[in-house]
Chains A and B, each alone.
Chain A
């Protein structure tokens, strides 16, 4: 845009707090509270979000009734994958609705920083992910006898980072979806390849070298890897730290990319 400015020296009004790139805590928490308030009017979504992962773990436990070792490995991986998928779906639809309802345009015409909006969403859905992951982890560890060598807190940490990654990916792809139909189709497009290549179905080092190379650059591989580290080791290994850092880094990177797709001026 090339709106020329006529130079003026004296502003007529005191300048409002600049909505720069720095986060404004009040606006961020107000946004997070608003997102959660919206969800509260939709109890069915909350119930689905929280119960489905538990139900799936329960199912899985008895699918692998005869081989508890397999349940340990797959169950731990799924504890990391569920929050990623659900948060991806919820965020991509929620932000798409924000874009199509005109509320995004309205917010960006107000003194709301893009970072405030994104951080608000991340905070709200991150909070929800904590509840979801805590319940699923507790169920798996205490009632379904998921045999974890390391600390369940570390499982929860990875699950939370996965949820943030899902939120970030959802925010990002919603910019490329023109409708809810398209947004939902991004789920198989973005999540399924990662699901196939993350080591859940076959160990990554047994894949075709080309696929192994691809899986090396997909963040979900590290999410699952981190879960397995906790499963097999009593304390934090170097690999675990690397995995956590990679997942967190990816989440941040995609959040920044998501912020870049928010435009104050649209065609």
Chain B
């Protein structure tokens, strides 16, 4: 599938990050910096005064149960979420800045592609939006061919997106985000509904994109075993960040064997603190 050595980076290795936030002088090294990030949707406050950073050139996993605010956080980073308050800098500019639109690749949870176009036609169109003009036609063609190969759909390139399986359509959606070599990839549950082999292949691709192409990836998942494949983790629950650490640091801190049990440990601890607070009131 992908032309690189999948063993080059064993999942879960820590490329030098430590548990804490980057120092202010190193701020430019972070792809995303949030301070006091709050998002209100209707009557609900979905994200409450979050502080976090996403380091450049790494895979940051955003984990937590369904409905905890992962997608809203990602939409805020991409700049499609309304009612965002606090500071949110993405690639050195405020989130949603027009100059960021060519530098970020974004994949929504549901595949956002045209069902009545073929895979190649879908990608041709989005490529023409990212890199318009007749002069760029050859470059676009290369980009499209590469993106289709990246997600292993070369043999289906001329199939209508609507006739593909759910997992295949997800991958078309992912291929669109890979066009134009974005510096930051924001992927909302990209591996849902995929078989184990494809999931492994995609995670290998994500690692290749991070280490080989130097891009930053922010990937959400509610499958905890995928956490082990990330360089850093943001564990979320009910609109708050429970932990911001490497998988190793997280396991060490909680004395747990897996990220899953570490997460459960942190949730229990948070619930107890909340109860203790309520009972003292």
What separation, in Å, do the CA atoms of A64 and B101 have in the docked complex?
A: 58
| A206 interfacial by beta-carbon distance below 8 Å | no
B-binding segment of A11-19, A81-89, A131-139, A163-171: A11-19
Measured CB to CB, the closest approach of chain A to B153, in angstroms, equals: 18
B42 A267 Cβ-Cβ under 8 A:
yes
Q: Is the CB of B114 within 8 A of A34?
A: yes
A41 contacts B by Cβ under 8 Å: yes
A105 touches B108 (CB 8 A): yes
Per-residue A-contact encoding for B118-134, CB less than 8 Å = 1, 0 else: 00010001101110111
Residues of A contacting B113 in the complex (Cβ-Cβ under 8 angstroms):
101, 103
Interface residues of A in 1-56 (CB under 8 A from B): 1-6, 8, 11-13, 15-16, 18-20, 24, 26-27, 30-31, 33-34, 37-38, 41-42
B20 at the interface (CB under 8 A from A): no
- Interchain CB contact (< 8 A) of A38 among B80, B82, B88, B116: B116
Q: Is the CB of B99 within 8 A of A38?
A: no
**B129 and A110 form a contact (CB under 8 A):** yes
Given that A266-B82, A267-B83 are contacting pairs, would A111 and B98 also be in contact in the complex, using a CB cutoff of 8 Å? Answer: yes
How far apart are the CA atoms of A262 and B78 in the complex, in Å?
Answer: 17
Q: How far is the CA of A35 from the CA of B162 in the complex (A)?
A: 16
- 1/0 per residue A94-118: CB within 8 Å of B? 0000000111011111111000000
Q: Is A264 interfacial (CB 8 A cutoff)?
A: yes
Docked complex Cα distance between A103 and B98 (Å): 18
Shortest beta-carbon distance from A30 to chain B in Å: 4
Query: Does A208 have its Cβ within 8 Å of any Cβ on chain B?
Result: no
Tell whether, in the assembled complex, residue A11 and residue B92 are in contact, meaning their CB atoms are under 8 Å apart: yes
A1→B82 contact, CB < 8 A: yes
B41 CB to nearest A CB, Å:
6
Instruction: Identify whether the interface residues of A are mostly helix, strand, loop, or mixed.
Output: loop
> Which of A6, A31, A106, A267 lies at the interface centre, i.e. has the most chain B CB atoms within 10 A of its CB?
A106
Q: Quick check: A264 and B96 within 8 Å, CB to CB?
A: yes
Assembly CA distance A263 to B96 (angstroms): 12
> Is there a chain A Cβ closer than 8 Å to B257's Cβ?
no
Contacts A265-B82, A267-B41: A105 and B112 contacting too (C-beta < 8 A)? yes
- Residue contact B128 to A111, C-beta cutoff 8 Å: no
For A5, what are the chain B residues with a Cβ–Cβ distance below 8 Å? 93-94
A234 to B192, CA, bound (A): 66
Q: Which A residues touch B86, using CB under 8 A?
A: 3-4
Q: Which A residues touch B114, using CB under 8 A? A: 34, 38, 101, 103
- Tell me whether A26 and B101 are in contact in the complex, defined as CB-CB below 8 angstroms, given that A1-B83, A3-B96, A34-B121 are known contacts: no
Q: Return chain A residues, CB-CB under 8 Å to B99.
A: 11, 13, 15-16, 18
Chain A, range 38-81, C-beta contacts under 8 Å to B: 38, 41-42
Q: Chain B's nearest CB lies how many Å from the CB of A233?
A: 44
Tell me which of B81, B87, B115, B176 contacts A106 (CB under 8 A). B176
* A3 CB contacts on chain B under 8 angstroms: 84-88, 94-96
Q: Tell me, in angstroms, the Cα distance from A123 to B25 when the chains sit together.
A: 50
Min C-beta distance of B14 to chain A, whole Å: 26
B86 CB to nearest A CB, Å:
7
* B254 in the interface (beta carbon within 8 A): no
* A149 CB to nearest chain B CB (Å): 43
Asked whether A103 lies within 8 Å of B117 as measured between CB atoms, the reply is no
In the complex the two chains form, is B134's CB within 8 Å of A26's CB? yes
Known: A19-B101, A264-B79, A264-B80. A34 touches B112 (CB 8 A): no
Besides A109-B106, A267-B82, 16 other A-B contacts (C-beta < 8 A)? A3-B86, A3-B95, A3-B96, A8-B92, A13-B103, A16-B98, A26-B133, A27-B129, A27-B132, A34-B114, A103-B112, A110-B101, A110-B130, A263-B82, A264-B96, A265-B80
For this complex, 17 residue pairs linking A to B, each with C-beta atoms less than 8 Å apart, are: A1-B82, A3-B94, A5-B93, A6-B94, A8-B93, A15-B99, A26-B134, A27-B128, A27-B132, A30-B125, A30-B129, A37-B117, A101-B114, A110-B101, A264-B96, A266-B81, A267-B83
